[in-house]
A = this chain, B = another copy of it.
Amino acid sequence: MEITRKAPIGRPRGFDADEALEQAMMVFWEQGYEGASLTALTGAMGITRKSMYAAFGNKEELFRKALERYTEGPAAYAARALEKPSAREVATAFLAGSVSTTTRPGCPAGCLGVQGSLAAGDSGRAARDALIAWRDDGRDRLRHRFQRAVDEGDLPPGADPELLARYIMTVANGIAVQAAGGATRSELQEVADAALRNWPPV
């Protein structure tokens, strides 16, 4: 069949693009968008600048793809938390996931979605804005989940899904900052527990 095509024409690339992207994610995670130079990135990825540009576009697109990978990998706890049966379990799992991901041995301390770029010069604006959108998206999902909980009677009628979502996101962001500063997993889990102690209904 002329429709089937098992291999693309031309010389096949000599590296695993997924593995290279994983390494790029780690560098962005550890050094931030502006702090991660192409030399550091391609060095960790094990490929040349030219191969990186051919496979991923440019530094900004590489960052976006690394962020996608982060979302599906280290930050997948968020999607899993949203599927918990009750709002309380959603909040608990979200914060617990945040704690464990920001303090995982072998990975940079903190959260790529926070320290990737909070404040930036002109060259980092796009990355910063992408991360703002990323965090907003996470908050939106929490809000919709909590709204559903209100609708289902899982949360009291007076509960404010918008506020609850922002509250959980704020604590998670704070946990990320604390982790970047060297806080340990158990210290942060205690903070997460404390933050949930007033979960409605109190």
> Closest chain B residue to A170 by CB distance?
B174
Interface string of A1-37 (1 = CB under 8 A from B): 0000000000000000000000000000111101111
List the number of copies, as a whole number: 2
Q: How far is the CA of A173 from the CA of B171 in the complex (A)?
A: 8
Q: Which A residues have a C-beta under 8 Å from some C-beta of B? A: 29-32, 34-37, 40, 108, 110, 114-116, 118-121, 123-124, 132, 135-136, 163-164, 166-167, 169-178, 180-183, 187-188, 190-191, 194-195, 197-198, 202
Query: In the complex, A136 Cα to B66 Cα: how many Å?
Result: 30
CB–CB A124/B35 < 8 A: yes
A190 touches B163 (CB 8 A): yes
Task: List the B side residues contacting A194 at CB < 8 Å.
Answer: 163-164, 167, 198
Chain B residue numbers with a CB within 8 Å of A166 are 178, 183, 187, 190-191
CA distance A100 to B187 in the complex (A): 27
